[in-house]
């Protein structure tokens, strides 16, 4: 048996949880070139405006910003270039089929180190309406108030 790999979070897309209902998450590898790996290991990655695109039977992450490696000189690549996701063909077909349904999209949720590999969690998500976002904020405020009250009573 193999032992579980250590995981270290590099970047997280908190806005995805605010804007979408997350239905299902899938772990994917990411194809990086040269100094991008060193930059990501240093935690210099931003998922805020990124999204997943399907082209020619492959999945790509677009809009993910990987800051140039400071010691990389001419070997640095474009910080926001499209990067290929390493998924099985059946996973790509499943996600592409779900995107054709009304309201579904595929967004990256987090990037992390799994042992020595860099992985991306991508999520099949359905967009939230404005009233859903308000409802989530109200529930969060109510939970926070209850925790605060509980803490005061137990002091």
**Residue 30 CA from chain centroid, whole number:** 12
Using alpha carbons, select from 1, 2, 107, 5 the residue that is nearest to residue 50.
Answer: 107
What pLDDT is recorded for position 5? 65
Q: How many beta carbons lie within 10 A of that of residue 133, not counting itself?
A: 12
Q: Which of 146, 44, 19, 36 is CA-nearest to residue 83?
A: 36
How many residues would you count in the chain?
Answer: 155
Query: How big, in percent rounded to 5, are the helix, strand and coil portions of the chain?
Result: 35, 35, 30
Calculate the alpha carbon distances from 141 to 60, 130, 145, 148 in Å.
37, 17, 6, 10
* 149 contact partners, CB below 8 Å, separation of at least 6: none
User: pLDDT value at position 1?
Assistant: 42
Determine the pLDDT at residue 4: 53
Q: Can you give the pLDDT at residue 151? A: 85
Write out the two tokens for 68. Answer: 């140039």
**pLDDT tens, per residue, the chain with 155 residues:** 445 568 899 999 998 988 899 999 999 999 988 888 888 898 899 998 899 999 999 999 999 999 888 877 776 778 888 999 999 999 999 999 999 877 789 999 999 999 889 999 999 999 888 888 898 889 999 999 999 888 888 77
Which pTM was predicted? 0.79
pLDDT of residue 72: 72
- Give the residue carrying structure tokens 């180190």: 113
């Amino acid at each position: 048996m193999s032992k579980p790999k250590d995981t270290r979070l590099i970047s997280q897309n908190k806005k995805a949880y605010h804007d979408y209902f997350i239905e299902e998450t899938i772990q994917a590898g990411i194809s990086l070139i040269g100094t991008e790996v060193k930059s990501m290991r240093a935690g210099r990655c931003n998922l805020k405006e990124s999204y997943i695109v399907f082209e020619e039977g492959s999945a790509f992450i677009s809009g993910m910003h990987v800051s140039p490696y400071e010691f990389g000189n001419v070997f640095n690549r474009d910080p926001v270039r499209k990067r290929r996701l390493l998924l099985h063909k059946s996973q790509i077909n499943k996600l592409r089929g779900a995107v054709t349904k009304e309201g579904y999209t595929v967004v990256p949720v987090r990037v992390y180190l799994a042992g020595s590999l860099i992985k991306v969690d991508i999520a099949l998500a359905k967009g939230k309406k404005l009233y859903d976002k308000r409802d989530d904020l109200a529930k969060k405020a109510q939970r926070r108030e209850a925790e605060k009250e509980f803490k005061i009573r137990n002091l």
